[in-house]
Amino acid sequence: MNQSNQRLKKDSPVGVMWKRGLLDFNIEPCISFSCLTPNTSLDRVSFNEQLLSSAPKDTQHPEMMRQLSLELINNIPSQALVLYTDGSKSDSGRTGSGVYAKAEDGLVFRCRFRNPDNCSVFRSELLAIREALNFALHFENSDIFVLTDSKSSIQYLKNWPEIREKNGQEVVSKIATLSQKSRVCFQWIPSHVGVFGNDEADVLAKEGSALPSASSSELFTSDIYSIHKAIANSAWRNPPTHDWYAGNRPGLSLQSVGTRSAQTALARLRSGHIKSLKFIDREKTFSSCPCFCPASPAHIIDCIGASTRQLWSGEGKGLVELLERHGVMDLV
């Protein structure tokens, strides 16, 4: 789902479930109009998804990415306020955000906080940016540089006229306020390459995810889709154990034993497509059983004194032995 278009539609599956009280999550409200007027301009705001030199992170050595990042950071005016933001999500679904900043006068700002369980890393990054802008509002006439390793957050904010989520609009509103007195720049930098501020924000975000409770319990609709997708995927990879469900991994729900001919006979009986089945004028007909009755799958099982349960359980080998003993394997 496009991150910039996560409105909870009235008739969407999640929308219907939410209205009927079937979801255990609070959904972040969406607003049908922009928080800014049509005449609003963010001319003093820039969104940069690349370093000064184009260098894909996946093909460059970390030290090269570090040097390119430091080159960019060193070009930032010394009077500017530089803020590093990051989001984190643990394997258990706990999420947090972190902000690190150091002003020209030496003031150091560190912030960490917990986010709702199972919210996306994207949203944790966005909440970190919101907190960084809150801090920036206390500074007068300083250019603002927000350095984040989340390209998706920059792309999302770059498309600010289309943002309808409450948190997204709060961020855009703060950007507009700051841009009236300062230049505001959102700059992507690579993660885990040894840039001090980014590493500090990363540590703070991880510490935030370990805090005892979240300040908000609202989730994007896309977060809820992701949660249920993860639950379904886990259930698929770890199927329930029942006497009628012998699967031990995805893609194999019933295990067959015995010779190939025995496995084929069981498969045909289960599907109903046995050798005695014929179509005459598009009507199903069956050859005769030794007892002179139509040899349908159900009749064959009943005629040899077996049960349908044997067909779908681990007793398939015994069923094949009964078929052979009664001389009806050629019908299957």
Query: Please, are residues 45 and 158 in contact by the beta-carbon 8 Å criterion?
Result: no
What pLDDT, on a 0 to 100 scale, did the predictor assign at position 310? 79
Query: Please, are residues 290 and 331 in contact by the beta-carbon 8 Å criterion?
Result: no
The more confidently predicted of residues 246 and 109 is 109
The more confidently predicted of residues 317 and 327 is 327
**pTM as predicted:** 0.61
Residues 67 and 214 grouped into a single domain: yes
Last residue of a domain, one of 219, 245, 273: 219
Residues 182 and 270 grouped into a single domain: no
Q: Is residue 208 part of a domain?
A: yes
**What mean pLDDT is predicted for residues 175-203?**
95
Checking if the pLDDT of 3 tops 60, the result is: no
The more confidently predicted of residues 150 and 264 is 150
Instruction: Give the span between the Cα atoms of 255 and 267, in whole angstroms.
Output: 11
Q: Which residues contact 126 (CB under 8 A, 6 or more apart)?
A: 87, 153, 156, 167, 168, 171
**What mean pLDDT is predicted for residues 302-324?**
82
Give tens-digit pLDDT for 16-69. 554 555 455 555 555 555 556 666 779 999 999 999 887 777 788 999 999 999
Q: Is residue 195 part of a domain?
A: yes
Give tens-digit pLDDT for 84-117. 999 999 988 889 999 999 877 778 899 999 998 8
The length of the chain in residues reads: 332
Amino acid at 3: Q
**What mean pLDDT is predicted for residues 259-280?**
87
Q: Which residues does residue 32 pair with via DSSP β-bridges, in sequence order?
A: none
- Burial of 252 from C-beta contacts in 10 A (0-12 / 13-18 / 19+): exposed
Tokens linked to 118: 């199972």
Query: Please, are residues 148 and 125 in contact by the beta-carbon 8 Å criterion?
Result: yes
- Please report where in the chains the tokens 């679904």 appear, as a residue: 93
Cα separation values, 216 from 117, 127, 141, 222, Å: 10, 11, 32, 17
Domain that holds residue 208: 63-219
- Please report where in the chains the tokens 């560190």 appear, as a residue: 110
Q: Is residue 116 part of a domain?
A: yes
Would you give the distance in Å from CA 303 to the centre of its chain?
52
Q: Is residue 176 part of a domain?
A: yes
Of 162, 161, 131, nearest in space to 148 by CA: 131
Please name the helix (run of DSSP H) or strand (run of DSSP E) that holds residue 203, with its range, or none: helix 196-209
Residues 190 and 115 grouped into a single domain: yes
